[in-house]
Amino acid sequence: MVAAALAEIATHPAAGAALDIEQVSHAFDIDGAELPVLSDVSISVEPGEFVALLGPSGCGKSTLLRLVAGLDKPKAGRLREDEERIRSPHPSRVVVFQDPTLFPWRSVWDNVALGLEAQGILRSQRHRVDAALDLVGLSSFRKAYPHQLSGGMAQRVALARALVNDPKILILDEPLGKLDSLTRITMQAELVSLWQRKGFTTLLVTHDAEEALVLANRVIVFSDRPARVKADIRVDRPYPRHRGDPYLADLRRQILGLLGLDATW
């Protein structure tokens, strides 16, 4: 069923886009005082790369994702998607936010259909909504309202709502954070296979170094706020990866060290 759903979504191959984050700095005004959040961040992402962003809580990861999405403008620096300046949101860059933020007045199906409806193509593309719901295993909840879902289910709906749009860059802000460990592992595998089939560029924020290493082919570690790029690590391992892989365990120890945990971990 999942394979069929994948095939369904993948009928319109949209290769990934390149993403250039050039010397981006950002700050917020809190009560007149300036709170620097990003400091001279430069990351160049190849089309189709899977990049994981790791960093201490509150360092500015979500802020960076908002800039990439085009929801906010950076105080300094430039962001480009395929050489084109990012000035406003565009459905080619879809975000799965840290909170699922489903619309409570819409059923699950209508929530997933949101993007297609907003772009005015829902009428001819209804099957894509069904396929995306199949993919996250929530077909039987299509008529439920968000308040009838568990936290993990809501997060899966949010994922389906993003995937249905065939993004060129998929931006994920701890999308699997609320899932139980079993569903989480399944969804990780699902995500990898989806990414491999469709080739979109992926930007994934996570707190979990292991998750980053199982999923991404590049892990970027940020410093404390204001976030700077502390390390940019290539993960050259074929998929599917195994959690017990000594190479990954070694990288994990290295990353946890960068995040300030000592080597006994």
Partner 1 sequence: MSTYSLSDGLASGAPRLSRAPLLAIWIRDSGVGVLASIAWIAFGLSCLWWEDVGDWSRTHSLGIAAFVIAAIALFGTVGVDYLGAAGQALHKRAPWLVALGAFLTVWEVATAKFAWLPLPFFPPPQAIIEVYTDDLPKLLDSVFASVKLQLGGYLIGATIGFLTGISIGWSRAVGYWVHPVLRFIGPLPATAWLPIAFFTFPSSWSASTFLIALATGFPVTVLTWSGVASVTNAYYDVARTLGARPSFLVLKVAIPAALPHVFVGLFMGLGASFAVLVVAEMIGVKAGLGWYLQWAQGWAAYANMYAALIVMSLLCSGAITLLFSIRERLLVWQKGTVKW
Ligand X SMILES: Nc1ncnc2c1ncn2[C@@H]1O[C@H](COP(=O)(O)OP(=O)(O)OP(=O)(O)O)[C@@H](O)[C@H]1O
Task: Give the 3-state secondary structure of residue 65.
Answer: helix
- Rounded CA gap, 128 and 125, in Å? 6
Stretch that binds partner 1, among 3-11, 46-54, 82-90, 200-208 (CB under 8 A): 82-90
Cβ distance 6 to 197 under 8 Å? yes
| Cβ-based nearer residue to ligand X, 61 or 161 | 61
Task: Give the 3-state secondary structure of residue 18.
Answer: coil
Tokens of 263: 């080597």
- Rounded CA gap, 134 and 175, in Å? 18
Cβ count within 10 A of residue 123 = 8
One of 60, 115, 146, 175 touching ligand X (CB under 6 A): 60
Stretch that binds partner 1, among 93-101, 174-182, 189-197, 198-206 (CB under 8 A): 93-101
Distance set, CA 108 to CA 104, 155, 195 (Å): 9, 11, 23
Residue 12 contacts partner 1 per CB under 8 A: no
Minimum gap (Å) between residue 193 Cβ and ligand X: 26
Per-residue binding string, partner 1, 145-184, x by CB under 8 A, is xxx-------------x---x-------------------
Q: Scanning the structure block, which residue is given the tokens 């395929």?
A: 82
Residue 37 contacts ligand X per CB under 6 A: yes
Closest CA to 19 of 111, 92, 73: 92
Residue 99 contacts partner 1 per CB under 8 A: yes
One of 42, 62, 186, 193 touching Mg ion (CB under 5 A): 62
Q: How many residues bind Mg ion (CB under 5 A)?
A: 2
One of 39, 63, 183, 217 touching ligand X (CB under 6 A): 63
- Rounded CA gap, 252 and 27, in Å? 30
One of 57, 124, 140, 264 touching ligand X (CB under 6 A): 57
Residue 37 binding partner per list partner 1, Mg ion, ligand X, none, with a CB distance cut-off of 5 to 8 Å that depends on partner kind: ligand X
Closest CA to 103 of 165, 42, 188, 161: 161
Per-residue binding string, partner 1, 231-260, x by CB under 8 A, is ------------------------------
Residue 101 contacts Mg ion per CB under 5 A: no
| Residues 99, 60, 169: CA angle, nearest 5 degrees | 65
- Rounded CA gap, 112 and 60, in Å? 28
Contact set with partner 1 (CB under 8 A): 66, 69-71, 88-91, 93-95, 97, 99, 101, 103-107, 114-115, 117-119, 145-147, 161, 165
Which residues contact Mg ion (rule: CB under 5 A)?
62, 98
